[in-house]
Amino acid sequence: MEQHRKYGDLVQIAPDHVSINLPEAVADIYGHKSGCLKSDFYDSFLQVMPVVFNVRDPMAHQRKRKFLNLAFSARALSEFEPSMDVELSCWRRQLIDISKSDAVTDFTVWANYLAFDIIGRFAFGRSFGFIEKGMDPFNLITTVDTRGEVLNALGTLPAYLRYWMKYMYFDPFWSAGLRAASNLASLGRAAYFDRKDVSSPQKDLLSYLFAAKGNGDVGEQEIIAESISFIVGGSDTTSSTITHFIDFVSRDRALQEKLQEELDSAFPGMQDLDWVPNYQSLKDLPLLNAALKEVMRTVVSVPTCGLMSNPKIFKDPSDFRPERWMGTNANELAEHFLPFSTGTRACIGRNFAWMEMLKAIAIVFKTFNVHRATDQPTVIREGFFVKAVECACYVTLR
């Protein structure tokens, strides 16, 4: 961003590589009629075979979206919401138990447990059990983090060098990262075959893919590859955003009280132990949605982050101001809100993620008063995603 401030909207940062921070260019780059392809950076994320996230050929991507879209339709998400609520209810009970002790709650950890268990239930029909156990016995979270960091680095290398990185035995970054990628593939395969052998009336992601397989539209290796991909795509992204939201609001007492007032108005009185807010009641709450948009505009790392901090669009872009999304120009700003990308390559799970994040955040601030355990700035680690290293909070029942 410093280079854009110095040199303007178009900055050449490498041979054949131009960074563009120009609102007018969005349609040309991301639009349905764009001739732009994903770069070969995404080839580094290949496991088993290309998936909807990293396949570069437009026709292949269109074919994949066709059989995956059914699993992410409004009807499918509505049918899955009760299953999501099972995990959220368990999560709330665990947080209540922790709040009764003097221990701090690290939401970096607990947001991860929630996101992984929800995506496990959505993709494979059952959670990984992290919330209930209060731990990750498979070391899956660290595996995903380590894999993301090394594949992110691998993608920046010339294609002819990537193959040789697996021989970097004495460099712990490469050896641990590539081993993590292999471990994730093994865990994904195991989860797939466990689900394959179970007949379930529940509509999960694999049930839609099995139907496509029965129609001859997709093969088994492709299903396995997509399953592995969704473990990553549906976990780190949402958990990071939930954590950053809690980090921001736990440091701003006035904002937290306003958010709690809004939630109390929508859900009056005390709620029972298994309470989970329904999505229909959350999706139109102005401050809740505005604050989530502002978190995703300011902190969460996406390729369009420069656009979302462009002062030509967002006044005082470095300031965290949820109210900007509640003003008279909110619709205009929404045109430039692109954390899920836009066009044909927009995130297929964006509505799923939004529902999950709103529900989790509402549970936290309807149920608890939350205060950060430190006045120090949050330490951020950037791999493929921007993640808070910790988000330790004092949590008390309201």
- 247 φ, ψ to 5°? -60, -50
Encode pLDDT of 57-99 as tens digits.
999 999 999 989 999 999 999 999 999 999 999 999 999 999 9
Percent of the chain whose predicted confidence (pLDDT) is above 90 = 59
Annotated binding-site positions: 347
Q: Which range (29-43, 103-117, 323-337) has the least confidence?
A: 29-43
Considering its fold, how many domains does the chain have in total? 1
CA distance 345 to 165: 29
Percent of the chain whose predicted confidence (pLDDT) is above 70 = 99
pTM assigned to the model: 0.94
Q: In this model, does residue 302 exceed pLDDT 70?
A: no
178-205 mean pLDDT: 85
CB 20 within 8 A of CB 29: yes
**DSSP type of residue 45:** G
CA distance 84 to 44: 32
pLDDT attached to residue 8: 87
Q: In this model, does residue 35 exceed pLDDT 90?
A: no
Domain-located, residue 48? yes
> CATH code at 159?
1.10.630.10
- Could you identify the residue written with the tokens 């009641």? 281
Domain-located, residue 88? yes
Q: How confident is the model at residue 196 (pLDDT cuts 50, 70, 90)?
A: confident
Helix axes 107-124, 205-214, angle to 10 degrees: 30
Q: In this model, does residue 353 exceed pLDDT 90?
A: yes
Largest CA distance in the chain: 62
Domain-located, residue 107? yes
Q: What's the chain's average pLDDT? A: 92
Domain-located, residue 1? no
Highest mean pLDDT among 62-76, 104-118, 148-162: 104-118
Domain-located, residue 198? yes
Domain-located, residue 85? yes
CA distance 300 to 339: 8
- The tokens describing 10, both together, are 């178009």
pLDDT attached to residue 249: 98
Alpha-carbon distances of 126 from 83, 90, 195, 226, 275, rounded to whole Å = 9, 14, 9, 17, 21
CB 79 within 8 A of CB 73: no
pLDDT attached to residue 134: 97
Nearest to 337 by CA among 303, 307, 299: 307
- The tokens describing 176, both together, are 């641990």
Q: In this model, does residue 48 exceed pLDDT 80?
A: yes
pLDDT attached to residue 185: 87
- 131 φ, ψ to 5°? -65, -50
Nearest-5° angle of CA 147, CA 347, CA 29? 105
Domain-located, residue 49? yes
CA distance 285 to 262: 7
CA distance 200 to 105: 35
Annotated binding-site positions for heme: 347
Sign for the CA dihedral angle at 5, 150, 53, 124 comes to negative
**Residues spanned by the domain of 67:** 37-302+339-397
Alpha-carbon distances of 273 from 90, 270, 281, 355, rounded to whole Å = 9, 9, 19, 21
Domain-located, residue 282? yes
